Amino acid sequence: MSLKSINLLFSIDNNFFEQLKTTLYSLRANTPNTFFRVFVLQEKQFSWKNEFKSFCSALNMTYEPLILGTSRFKYAPINKRYPKTIYYRLLAQEYLPKDIKKVLYLDADILCINNISAFYSLDLKNHLYAAASHSQLTNFTTVVNKVRLQNYETEQYYNSGVLLINVTQARRHIKYKDIYAFIQKKSATLLLPDQDILNSLYGNHILPLPDQIYNLDARKNLIYEMISNGTWNLDWIIKNTVFLHFCGKEKPWEENSKGKFVVLYKHYAHLANLTVVENN
């Protein structure tokens, strides 16, 4: 019997090797009996490509780099927190192999803690993406973003860290020229650049997901518990949440990071490194 196959997509620079390993190990640990194709959008080949290829092979995954070159998004606003790589996911459909019809994009600061098979099998119909909003954590932010981006029809402001992408539809409807024109017009007002583009141009074509399951903000576990009248507590999260997203400036791999789920992240990071040792 052949294994079920899941396509994964990441967009990182040369500095995120360890974080990517941790995310992938968590996916493998919680979604067994599955073959993963791991596509990584990048400007050029990474210095650690051979080591990463071996790591993926040990987890029954294949590493398939997608090389964009340096010309794409050279005009887009960037800074230390938001490098050029954040934009690449918007054009993934142009670089993925022609046989790919669906792909799951994940930020490299995400930890998987439950099986993703049911989520990946979600029927996207004609939607471009499935994504979650953190609007239930603060409705005020959603209103501000609607005014700032002048996009009043979109119900929510979606987080771009977890995107189930309908590649077939994206090839038909997402055009580089539209993204380029938007950035040229709005570059001075883009705060979360790739998310602003995603929501402004394609927000009406996104299938909404519950963030407490598919994109839980790891900083806000107490708020989740409060707004659910105690239902979404730590036990519920461990049993039901699929993706923990370590949003914000403070990251769980940093030496002095704090938070309810940091020790869980560090545990998966440790196991990911053991995988490399055991297979050398």
Tens of pLDDT, residue by residue over 162-220, are: 999 999 999 999 998 998 888 888 776 667 778 888 999 999 999 999 999 999 999 99
> Domain-by-domain residue ranges, the chain?
4-278
User: What percent of the chain lies above the pLDDT cut of 90?
Assistant: 68
Residues paired with 195 in a beta bridge: none
- 3-class DSSP state of 232: coil
Question: What is the CATH number assigned to the segment(s) 4-278?
Answer: 3.90.550.10
pLDDT tens-digit map of 266-278? 999 999 999 865 6
Phi, then psi, of 34 in degrees rounded to 5: -140, 140
The lowest-confidence range among 26-35, 68-77, 196-205 is 68-77
Per the listing, tokens 């998004």 go with 73
**b/e code 82-120 from CB counts within 10 Å (16+ = b):** bebbbbbbbbbbebbeeebebbbbbbbbbbbbbebeebb
Per the listing, tokens 């839980």 go with 216
- 3-class DSSP state of 258: coil
